[in-house]
Amino acid sequence: MGKKNGAVAFFDVDGTLVWHDYEKMRAMSAEERRELPPIKPSPAVYEAFSRMRAAGNLTFICTGRHLPFIPQTIRDLNPDGFVAGAGAFVCVGDRVVRAEFIERDLLLETARRFAAAGVDITLEGDDDNVELNPSGRPAHLPGSRLARTAEDVAELTVAHRYSKFCSNGVEERDLAPLRDFIDEHYTICDLQGGVLEFSMRGVDKGTGIEATLACLGRGREGTFAFGDSENDLSMRAAVETFVAMGNALPNVREVADYVTLTAAEDGVPAALEHFGLI
């Protein structure tokens, strides 16, 4: 798997390998979002991954998406593995290295509290998504199942496991009555586009990368990570070189070792060329 001393690079998907017009998406209805075509990297990104392999470097997708919800267009990049679910699930080749899930009692308590507060969330698991929408809104993600109450969640989730959840269009003030509970059990990341991600404490992309490197028998030397949002910040300490996209949040760009072009401008291939990896 790659050259012994080849580089190891970790790539976020949304806003990094694939460009999103978040302002346009925010204005879309749930029905319009469901009808969007599958995400797809540019030809330059596909070529860059091919050249990375040819040079003996390793590539890993490092995304908040869970493995079953990573589309074929991303898998066609032929990475050497995945850090999925924002670090909750890690596989190197066909070997599962890490799989972390929210304990069921905590999951149901989370559903109860968010439903009581009237805050819509999407529970994301290794084979299932459940949208808890006490507001009455329809489900907005393809393939999601819809719950209105905590009791619905208890029924729908009995045969599945979940590692994180997200909210869409929720303001910080909406979380005020939940803040103590959230801070005790979860960390919050701004994913841009009005989306907030809630992950278990101690489970993030950075710890997922650490699990990957441990499996490979590698340290931080010669490692790279590329991202644009707050859930990419944890990657900074796990790799030698952290690259922020030109479209990254300001607090992500501030801590980056290098800021490349935007995803729309093929910032990933540009940075790989800058560092001599392709």
Same domain? 18 vs 156: no
| Portion of the chain with pLDDT greater than 70, in percent | 92
Same domain? 19 vs 96: yes
Answer whether residue 2 is part of any domain: no
> What is residue 23's predicted lDDT score, i.e. its pLDDT?
64
Same domain? 196 vs 124: yes
Domain containing 163 equals: 104-200
- The reported pTM is 0.91
Same domain? 128 vs 158: yes
169: pLDDT confidence band, cut at 50, 70 and 90?
Answer: confident
Answer whether residue 261 is part of any domain: yes
Answer whether residue 3 is part of any domain: no
Q: Pick the last residue of a domain from 155, 177, 200.
A: 200
Same domain? 20 vs 95: yes
Burial string for 234-252 (b: 16+ CB within 10 Å, else e) reads: bbbebbebbbbbebbbeeb
231-254 per-position pLDDT tens digit: 999 999 999 999 999 999 999 999
Answer whether residue 1 is part of any domain: no
Task: Determine how many CB atoms are found less than 10 A away from the CB of residue 71.
Answer: 13
Residue 102 φ then ψ, to 5°: -70, 130
Chain mean pLDDT for the chain = 94
Amino acid in position 88: A
Q: Pick the last residue of a domain from 182, 200, 218.
A: 200
Answer whether residue 38 is part of any domain: yes
51-65 per-position pLDDT tens digit: 999 999 999 999 999
What does 115-143 look like in DSSP terms, one character per residue? HHHT--EEEEESS-EEEE-TT-PPP-STT
Same domain? 79 vs 150: no
DSSP 3-state assignment of 272? helix
Instruction: Indicate which CATH number applies to the domain containing 108.
Output: 3.30.1240.10
Instruction: Give the number of domains in the chain.
Output: 2
93-103 per-position pLDDT tens digit: 999 999 999 99
Which residue did the predictor score with more confidence, 156 or 1?
A: 156
CA–CA separation, 106 and 110 (whole Å)? 6
Instruction: Indicate which CATH number applies to the domain containing 96.
Output: 3.40.50.1000
> What is residue 171's predicted lDDT score, i.e. its pLDDT?
83
Same domain? 40 vs 110: no
194-221 per-position pLDDT tens digit: 899 999 999 999 999 999 999 999 999 9
Q: What is the mean pLDDT of residues 161-186?
A: 94
Q: What is the mean pLDDT of residues 13-24?
A: 84
Strand order, beta sheet including 223-227? 95-99, 89-92, 81-84, 58-62, 8-11, 223-227, 241-244, 258-259
| Portion of the chain with pLDDT greater than 90, in percent | 83
> What is residue 81's predicted lDDT score, i.e. its pLDDT?
98
Same domain? 126 vs 149: yes
CA–CA separation, 186 and 182 (whole Å)? 5
Whose CA is closest to 144, among 159, 158, 125, 130?
130
Residue 42, token pair as written in the block: 């540019």
Same domain? 95 vs 230: yes
Q: What is the mean pLDDT of residues 124-132?
A: 94
Q: Pick the last residue of a domain from 200, 231, 259.
A: 200
Same domain? 183 vs 240: no
69-106 per-position pLDDT tens digit: 899 999 999 999 999 999 999 999 999 999 999 999 99
